[in-house]
Chain A
Amino acid sequence: MIEALLGSVVIFTLATFLGVELINRVPTTLHTPLMSGANAISGITIAGALIVAGGGHGWISTVIGFLAVVFAMINVVGGYAVTDRMLQMFKRKPGAK
Chain B
Amino acid sequence: MSHAAVILSYLIASVLFILGLKWLSSPATAVRGNRVSGAGMLIAIVVTLLDQAILSFEVIVAGLVVGSAVGLWMARSVKMTAMPQMVALLNGLGGGASLLVGGGEFLKSELVNENLTLDVSITIQLSMLIGAVTIAGSLIAWAKLQEVMTGRAITFPGQKVLNALLFLAVVVLSAYQISVPESLLWPFYAVVGISLLLGILLVIPIGGADMPVVISLLNSYSGIAAAMTGFVIKNDVLIIAGALVGSSGIILSQIMCKAMNRSLANVLFGAFGATSASTKTAEGLTARQTAADDAAVQLAYAKSVIVVPGYGLAVAQAQHLVREMADLIEKKGGEVKYAIHPVAGRMPGHMNVLLAEANVPYDKLFDMDQINAEFERTDVCLVIGANDVVNPAARTDPGSPIYGMPILNADKAASIIVLKRGMGAGFAGIENELFFNPKTAMLFGDAKGSLQKVVTELKAL
A residues near B (Cβ < 8 Å) are: 1-2, 4-5, 8, 11-13, 15-20, 22-58, 60-62, 64-92, 94-97
Among candidates A45, A52, A85, residue contacting B76 with C-beta atoms closer than 8 Å: A85
The interface residues of chain A, by DSSP majority, are classed as: helix
B contacts with A, residue count (CB < 8 A): 117
- B70 nearest in chain A by CB position: A74
How far, in Å, is A50 (CB) from chain B's closest CB?
Answer: 5
Q: A76-B71, A83-B34 are in contact. List 10 more A-B contacts (CB 8 A).
A: A19-B247, A24-B251, A29-B365, A30-B26, A31-B349, A54-B55, A64-B100, A72-B67, A80-B34, A90-B30
Q: Determine the chain A residues whose CB is within 8 A of the CB of B70 once the complex forms.
A: 70, 73-74, 78
5 residue pairs A–B, Cβ–Cβ below 8 Å: A48-B105, A49-B97, A77-B67, A78-B72, A89-B357
Best-surrounded residue of B17, B38, B118 (most CB of chain A within 10 A): B38
Q: Determine the chain A residues whose CB is within 8 A of the CB of B225 once the complex forms.
A: 42, 45
A67 in contact with B100 (CB, 8 Å): yes
B239 in contact with A78 (CB, 8 Å): no
- A72 nearest in chain B by CB position: B97
- The 8 closest A-B CB pairs, nearest first, are A73-B67, A31-B349, A69-B63, A19-B247, A77-B71, A54-B54, A78-B71, A81-B75
Contact A26:B246 (CB < 8 A) given known A72-B97, A78-B71, A80-B38: no
A43 in contact with B247 (CB, 8 Å): no
Q: Determine the chain A residues whose CB is within 8 A of the CB of B87 once the complex forms.
A: 32, 35-36, 39
Q: Determine the chain B residues whose CB is within 8 A of the CB of A15 once the complex forms.
A: 239-240, 243-244, 247
How far, in Å, is A75 (CB) from chain B's closest CB?
Answer: 4
Contact A85:B75 (CB < 8 A) given known A35-B216, A39-B245, A80-B37: yes
B283-329 at interface with A (beta carbon < 8 Å) = none
* Distance, CA A40 to CA B97, complexed state (A): 13
A71 in contact with B67 (CB, 8 Å): yes
Q: Determine the chain A residues whose CB is within 8 A of the CB of B83 once the complex forms.
A: 32, 36, 82, 86
* Distance, CA A55 to CA B248, complexed state (A): 33
Q: Determine the chain B residues whose CB is within 8 A of the CB of A26 once the complex forms.
A: 24-25
* Distance, CA A45 to CA B54, complexed state (A): 16
How far, in Å, is A46 (CB) from chain B's closest CB?
Answer: 6
Contact A42:B94 (CB < 8 A) given known A30-B349, A49-B100: yes
How far, in Å, is B430 (CB) from chain A's closest CB?
Answer: 24
* Distance, CA A15 to CA B223, complexed state (A): 12
A28 in contact with B68 (CB, 8 Å): no
Q: Determine the chain A residues whose CB is within 8 A of the CB of B34 once the complex forms.
A: 33, 37, 40, 80, 83-84, 87
Among candidates A22, A67, A81, residue contacting B21 with C-beta atoms closer than 8 Å: A22
B231 is an interface residue with CB less than 8 A from chain A: yes
* Distance, CA A48 to CA B38, complexed state (A): 17
Chain B, residues 207-240, CB within 8 Å of chain A (1/0): the string is: 0000000011001001101110111111111111
A47 in contact with B48 (CB, 8 Å): yes
* Distance, CA A71 to CA B232, complexed state (A): 18
How far, in Å, is B338 (CB) from chain A's closest CB?
Answer: 11
Q: Determine the chain A residues whose CB is within 8 A of the CB of B108 once the complex forms.
A: 52, 55, 57, 61
Among candidates B49, B107, B236, B363, residue contacting A60 with C-beta atoms closer than 8 Å: B107
How far, in Å, is A60 (CB) from chain B's closest CB?
Answer: 6
Q: Determine the chain B residues whose CB is within 8 A of the CB of A12 once the complex forms.
A: 227, 231, 239-240, 242-243
A23 in contact with B361 (CB, 8 Å): no
B20 is an interface residue with CB less than 8 A from chain A: yes
Q: Determine the chain B residues whose CB is within 8 A of the CB of A11 once the complex forms.
A: 236, 239-240, 243
- B25 nearest in chain A by CB position: A26
Q: Determine the chain A residues whose CB is within 8 A of the CB of B38 once the complex forms.
A: 40, 80
A29 in contact with B229 (CB, 8 Å): no
A84 in contact with B31 (CB, 8 Å): yes
B197 is an interface residue with CB less than 8 A from chain A: no
* Distance, CA A10 to CA B96, complexed state (A): 26
Among candidates A5, A8, A23, A43, residue contacting B97 with C-beta atoms closer than 8 Å: A43
* Distance, CA A95 to CA B251, complexed state (A): 32
Among candidates B41, B215, B348, B356, residue contacting A90 with C-beta atoms closer than 8 Å: B356
B169 is an interface residue with CB less than 8 A from chain A: no
B104 is an interface residue with CB less than 8 A from chain A: yes
Contact A48:B233 (CB < 8 A) given known A1-B119, A30-B25, A54-B57: yes
Contact A44:B44 (CB < 8 A) given known A8-B239, A57-B112, A75-B90: yes
Among candidates B44, B62, B250, B364, residue contacting A47 with C-beta atoms closer than 8 Å: B44
B25 in contact with A94 (CB, 8 Å): no
How far, in Å, is A12 (CB) from chain B's closest CB?
Answer: 5
- A43 nearest in chain B by CB position: B94
Among candidates B17, B26, B348, residue contacting A32 with C-beta atoms closer than 8 Å: B348
